[in-house]
Amino acid sequence: MEMDELYKAAEIEDSISDPKIAHLVINKDEVVGMNDVPGLEVKTQPIEEGVDIEIIVEEGYKIEKPVHMCFGMTYKKGLQRISLDIKVEKNAEIGILAHCVFPEALDVRHEMDAKIHIGEGAEYTYLEKHIHSSEGGIEVIPNAKIKLEEDAKFKTDFELVKGRVGKLDINYETTCYKNSVMEMTAKVDGVGDDQISINESGDLIGKGARGVLTTRVAARDNTRAEVYNELSASAPYARGHVDCKEIIQENGSAKAIPIVDVSHPLAHVTHEAAIGSVDKKQLETLMARGLSEEEAVDLIIQGLLN
């Protein structure tokens, strides 16, 4: 597979040719494209089987257009290790659109270890879109530790756009200081013998800190899914919500473990978790419009993961 095909699969051809849009493209362990914009500093250096990346968004800078990052592999086999250190300085803003593209993967492992610091009043959005092969021959293991300073905002959204999950093991930990806001969402559709493990936690230690953990998983065929969502609140007026819905079909199985840990009388954290088959009334409504049972299930799951 050639690089231009990777760009095409990631749908970033236009973005990486626009000098006003910052981008970083990595093929396995090689940086093949990079563009900075004012206020954004990106440094890379090779590490064994991967790349170490340091990103700094300078104080007060608001990066207007989303920064495109493409972590991919044109090969069918291999390991890619990404070490990411992101600092969003005081009152800065950045949105990153990460394209993790492995369209040929037969035996690929993608590891990411991220350390993210979001300064006072800063905002950081990380939308992670994955494109995998239809073979399921991939392991994706993202780990991130995120610290939100006072009034900081962090939003992340993990989505598999195309292909099979393979094996997914997400581990994200956040620590939220005074009046900071954190939203973490993961939506995954498992088929075949996919294995999904989502482990997200939020520690609301600052007064008025808020956090929401949202997970939507479809476990079809022989997929195994486990979701561990933990929200702790130890400061006055800290507010949080854990929301997990998993649909199982055929021989799929799912486990949801929401943990809510509140240690301040003025804090409040709620949770809801539901696992089951497709709702019968939803299914029958769509069938009464002429959809087959399979089409109706697909549409319901597509909506849930939308």
Partner 1 sequence: MSILEIKDLDLYVENTKILENINVEFEKGKVQALVGPNGAGKSSLAFSIMGLSEYQNTRGNIIYKGESIDDLSISERSDRGISLAWQEPARFEGLKVKDFINSASKKHKTRKSNDKNEKKEDVAKEVLKRLGMDPKEYLDREVDSSLSGGERKKIEMASILAMEPDLVLLDEPDSGIDVSSLERIFESINFLKEKGATVILITHSEVTLNQAEYAYLMCGGSIIDDGPIGEIRRYFEDECLPCDTKNVPEAKVEQYGNG
Q: What is the DSSP string of 141-154?
A: EEEEEEEE-TT-EE
| Cβ proximity of 196 and 224 under 8 Å | yes
| Cβ proximity of 73 and 41 under 8 Å | no
Helix (H) or strand (E) segment spanning residue 18: none
Stretch that binds partner 1, among 62-70, 95-103, 250-258, 290-298 (CB under 8 A): 290-298
Residue 291 touching partner 1 (CB under 8 A): yes
Q: Which residues from 214-233 bind partner 1, rule CB under 8 A? A: 216
In the numeric block, which tokens belong to residue 199? 């482990």
3-state secondary structure of 235: coil
Stretch that binds partner 1, among 23-31, 111-119, 217-225, 298-306 (CB under 8 A): 298-306
Residue 303 touching partner 1 (CB under 8 A): yes
Query: For partner 1, which residue of 13, 234, 281, 297 counts as binding (CB under 8 A)?
Result: 281
Quick one: which of 112, 102, 215, 201 has its CA closest to 158? 215
Please state the closest distance from residue 49 (CB atom) to partner 1, in A: 37
Residue 234 touching partner 1 (CB under 8 A): no
Stretch that binds partner 1, among 37-45, 153-161, 198-206, 277-285 (CB under 8 A): 277-285
Please state the closest distance from residue 58 (CB atom) to partner 1, in A: 36
What is the chain's alpha carbon radius of gyration, rounded to the nearest angstrom?
20
Quick one: which of 219, 163, 174, 213 has its CA closest to 196? 219
Quick one: which of 154, 213, 144 has its CA closest to 179? 154
Residue 188 touching partner 1 (CB under 8 A): no
Stretch that binds partner 1, among 84-92, 154-162, 230-238, 286-294 (CB under 8 A): 286-294
User: Which residues are at the interface with partner 1 (CB under 8 A)?
Assistant: 216, 245, 279-282, 284-293, 295-296, 299-300, 302-306
